[in-house]
Amino acid sequence: MITLRVAGRLLTIHRVLVRYGLGDFVRATHLYRPLRFVFYLSPWTWFTRRRGTRAERLRLALEELGPIFVKFGQLLSTRRDLLPVDIADELAKLQDRVPPFPGDIAKARIEEALGSPVTELFGSFEEAPLAAASIAQVHAATLIDGRAVVVKVLRPGMREVIGRDIEVLHALAALADRYWADSRRFRPTEVVADYEKTVLNELDLMREAANASQLRRNFAGSTMLHVPEVHWDLCRREVMVMERIHGVQISDVARLHALGTDIQKLAENGVTIFFTQVFRHNFFHADMHPGNIFVDVNDPANPKYVAVDFGIVGTLDPRDQLYLAGNFLAFFERDYRRVAVLHVESGWVPAGTRVDELESAVRTICEPIFNKPLKDISFGLVLLRLFEIARRFQMQIQPQLILLQKTLLNIEGVGRDLYPDLDLWKTAQPFLRDWVRERTGPRAILDHIRSNWPDIAEVLKLLPVIARRAIRQAYDGELVVRTETASIEPLQGELRESRRRTDVIIAAAASLLGGVIWLSFGTPPAWVGWLLTAGGAVLLANRLLQIDTGTRS
């Protein structure tokens, strides 16, 4: 249901777009069609004079509409392969040129949050901000002991402004769910709910400070990335104080070249950092637009990234990590059947999807892309092309992957600007291969058994009773597979499954016995014996529990 507040905001969006001479956007928006008379009767439509270029007017409109629209423009600015040059250049100004709010208001908010005058909290404080972003701005300061820091302060009234726009997004998502045929596939209400959590997290600077601390620990001792230190005693929900960093903004490519920076190494390290965060740490900075990335060029031959603004971070389910890595590897090996199988196994497409049809569709989309050198292949373009087949196979947008997709688009855009010859695959392929090997190798299995040993031990306690009952039932001819199907084909399937279960039980028992023998003779390495014993025991217990449950039912 559209409330008066939401309706008022929609009309405000209409007014701003038209006032800046962007009426084409209004006419192209289907949800405005019932109100198209508002457009034609609006005085702004007929009496507004267009001033400035198209790109300037778009940037100014986004700035006036507020933080959610500014963030949208920030994301677009990194996709120069999808935008005209003039618009991309102008939207890039949204990274760090958002109009600031007065310094005296910032001081008042700091004093209110920390409960003391600024003169007592800091050795010095600069009222003129270093940078202003869509949600907060940053001031330079020094601590009482002289260490240089930055103070981040939330903009006044941000919670109210963002709450209003989130309400608008929920209303639009509800309309889409009701009237848009593709809503089931794109799940707009879930996407908005997920984005709401993300943007509200940005309004809690204590959470951002915690994110920064975690990322700093993850990259402790790294030669590729530096994360500033947080000063926890001066952090509150609306104020955060952290180490001041110095460096060249990643978008200032001319200065990086002038300083003799190894640009290729810098670009390749950026790809490595991204994949390390996503796969090894499963904790990634998800707001990597150029305004948040600096370069330490004290040693130009070994440049080091410096990250700021940790309000948005992401994690993935371990299963999604594995399927994502497998999809990347299969895609670049042109194993389209594997891509199709992984999509079905992961649940990203309905279980009944025919693998051969999906494979054919993926091949049709991807083969033309491979006519280019790998270094020229855009991950963003691949995603857009894959969405072309989404309608046919009811492919669903995964909310847990939204942040990752956004971050990947950012990273690729920054990397292409920095080093146009960047071959993402050259850097990513060995990393992904090693990671998949580590996740599926014997050591990973052993580590999994060790971490789950309490549960395994509980199963082992039940094993003698279950095994004795199953063996007695088998000896007495009472061990049967129950079936209620009336057709011969399902019955044959059950019989095949029964034989398969028997084979699994024999193999598990052999593994268990082999492990016990290995350990009893003290044959090195001992972990092999433990692996065989535990693996066989868990598998045997699982199968026997299934049989016991089926017999009792």
DSSP string of 157-191? THHHHHHHHHHHHHHHHHHHHHH-TTHHHH-HHHH
What does the alpha-carbon distance between residue 191 and residue 187 come to, in Å, rounded to a whole number?
6
Name the CA dihedral angle for 259, 264, 268, 270, rounded to a multiple of 10 degrees.
30
In a domain, 142, yes or no: no
The listed range with the strongest mean pLDDT (5-9, 165-169, 204-208) is: 204-208
Q: How many domains does the chain have?
A: 4
Our answer to whether residue 434 is catalytic in this structure is no
In a domain, 114, yes or no: no
Q: Which of 41-50, 247-256, 303-312 is least confident?
A: 41-50
In a domain, 299, yes or no: yes
User: What is the mean pLDDT of the segment spanning 372-387?
Assistant: 67
Q: What percent of the chain has pLDDT over 70?
A: 68
Q: Are residues 432 and 497 in the same domain?
A: no
Instruction: Return the higher-pLDDT residue of 437 and 386.
Output: 437
User: What is the mean pLDDT of the segment spanning 380-395?
Assistant: 66
What pLDDT, on a 0 to 100 scale, did the predictor assign at position 82? 55
In a domain, 477, yes or no: yes
Label residues 504-526 b or e (16+ Cβ within 10 Å = b). Answer: ebeebbebbeebeebeeeeeeee
Q: How confident is the model at residue 107 (pLDDT cuts 50, 70, 90)?
A: very high
Asked which of 64, 95, 126 is the last residue of a domain, the reply is: 95
Q: How confident is the model at residue 171 (pLDDT cuts 50, 70, 90)?
A: confident
* Cα Rg of the chain (Å, integer): 29
Domain residues for the domain of 458 are 444-552
Label residues 338-375 b or e (16+ Cβ within 10 Å = b). Answer: bbbbbbbebebbeeebebeebbebbeebbeeeeeeeee
For the record, the structure tokens of 429 come out as 């392929």
For the record, the structure tokens of 273 come out as 């950092």
Q: What percent of the chain has pLDDT over 90?
A: 26
| CA 429, chain centre distance (Å) | 19
Q: How far is CA 181 from CA 34, 185, 351, 402, in A?
A: 18, 9, 21, 21
Q: Are residues 164 and 61 in the same domain?
A: no
Q: Which of 23-32, 130-139, 175-184, 343-352 is least confident?
A: 23-32
Average per-residue pLDDT for the chain: 78
Instruction: Return the higher-pLDDT residue of 483 and 377.
Output: 377
| pLDDT > 90? residue 476 | no
User: What is the mean pLDDT of the segment spanning 393-402?
Assistant: 67
Bond before 34 cis per omega within 30 degrees: no
What pLDDT, on a 0 to 100 scale, did the predictor assign at position 474? 66
| pLDDT > 90? residue 240 | yes
What pLDDT, on a 0 to 100 scale, did the predictor assign at position 260? 95
Q: Are residues 427 and 502 in the same domain?
A: no
Asked which of 440, 459, 492 is the last residue of a domain, the reply is: 440
What pLDDT, on a 0 to 100 scale, did the predictor assign at position 10? 74
Strand partners of residue 243: 149
Asked which of 405, 440, 475 is the last residue of a domain, the reply is: 440
The answer to whether the CB of 139 falls within 8 A of the CB of 119 is no
Q: Which of 532, 548, 531, 534 is nearest to 467 (CA)?
A: 548
Q: How far is CA 314 from CA 239, 287, 376, 428, 532, in A?
A: 22, 10, 27, 19, 37
What does the alpha-carbon distance between residue 413 and residue 76 come to, in Å, rounded to a whole number?
9
Instruction: Name all contacts of 271-276 with Cβ < 8 Å and 24+ positions apart.
Output: 271/411, 271/415, 271/422, 271/424, 271/427, 271/428, 272/224, 272/427, 272/431, 273/224, 273/225, 273/305, 274/407, 274/408, 274/411, 275/427, 275/428, 275/431, 275/432, 275/435, 276/431
Q: How far is CA 48 from CA 8, 59, 64, 210, 230, in A?
A: 21, 17, 16, 47, 48
What pLDDT, on a 0 to 100 scale, did the predictor assign at position 287? 82
Other beta carbons within 10 Å of 531? 20
In a domain, 102, yes or no: no
| pLDDT > 50? residue 548 | no
What does the alpha-carbon distance between residue 81 and residue 384 come to, in Å, rounded to a whole number?
12
Q: Which of 22-26, 38-42, 426-430 is least confident?
A: 38-42
Three state DSSP letters for 329-376: HHHHCCCHHHHHHHHHHCCCCCCCCCHHHHHHHHHHHHHHHHHCCHHH
| pLDDT > 60? residue 290 | yes
The listed range with the strongest mean pLDDT (94-103, 179-188, 244-253) is: 244-253
Q: Are residues 396 and 485 in the same domain?
A: no
CA angle 381, 387, 391 (to 5 degrees): 160
User: What is the mean pLDDT of the segment spanning 363-372?
Assistant: 79
User: What is the mean pLDDT of the segment spanning 151-177?
Assistant: 83
| pLDDT > 90? residue 161 | no
Q: Are residues 408 and 464 in the same domain?
A: no
**Of 24, 86, 262, 287, which is the active-site residue?**
287
- pTM of the complete model: 0.70
Q: Are residues 254 and 335 in the same domain?
A: yes
What pLDDT, on a 0 to 100 scale, did the predictor assign at position 374? 64
What pLDDT, on a 0 to 100 scale, did the predictor assign at position 551? 45
| Residues whose CB falls within 8 Å of the CB of residue 382, separated by 6 or more in sequence, listed in order | 331, 366, 369
The answer to whether the CB of 297 falls within 8 A of the CB of 303 is yes
| Residues whose CB falls within 8 Å of the CB of residue 217, separated by 6 or more in sequence, listed in order | none
Q: Which of 90-104, 302-316, 468-482 is least confident?
A: 468-482
Q: Are residues 280 and 419 in the same domain?
A: yes
Q: Which of 172-176, 219-223, 323-327, 441-445 is least confident?
A: 441-445
| Residue position matching structure tokens 């007017």 | 57
DSSP string covering 221-272: T-SSEE-PPB-GGG-BTTEEEEE----EETT-HHHHHHTT--HHHHHHHHHH
Q: Are residues 362 and 293 in the same domain?
A: yes
What pLDDT, on a 0 to 100 scale, did the predictor assign at position 549? 46
The answer to whether the CB of 199 falls within 8 A of the CB of 287 is no
Q: How far is CA 302 from CA 54, 220, 267, 422, 467, in A?
A: 40, 17, 12, 17, 62
Q: Are residues 475 and 433 in the same domain?
A: no
Q: Are residues 306 and 434 in the same domain?
A: yes
Instruction: Name all contacts of 180-188 with Cβ < 8 Å and 24+ positions apart.
Output: 182/391, 184/394, 184/396, 185/390, 185/391, 185/394, 185/395, 185/396, 185/397, 186/396, 186/397, 187/396, 187/397, 187/399
Q: Are residues 284 and 385 in the same domain?
A: yes
Q: How confident is the model at residue 63 (pLDDT cuts 50, 70, 90)?
A: confident
Q: Are residues 291 and 425 in the same domain?
A: yes
Q: How confident is the model at residue 235 (pLDDT cuts 50, 70, 90)?
A: very high
One-letter amino acid identity for 16? V
What pLDDT, on a 0 to 100 scale, did the predictor assign at position 490? 59
In a domain, 126, yes or no: no
Strand partners of residue 140: 150
Q: How confident is the model at residue 300 (pLDDT cuts 50, 70, 90)?
A: very high
What does the alpha-carbon distance between residue 391 and residue 365 come to, in Å, rounded to a whole number?
14
Specify whether the backbone of 477 is left (phi greater than 0), alpha (psi in -120 to 50) or beta. left
In a domain, 212, yes or no: no
| pLDDT > 50? residue 224 | yes
Count CA atoms within 13 Å of residue 18 on its CB side: 21
What does the alpha-carbon distance between residue 135 and residue 146 come to, in Å, rounded to a whole number?
28
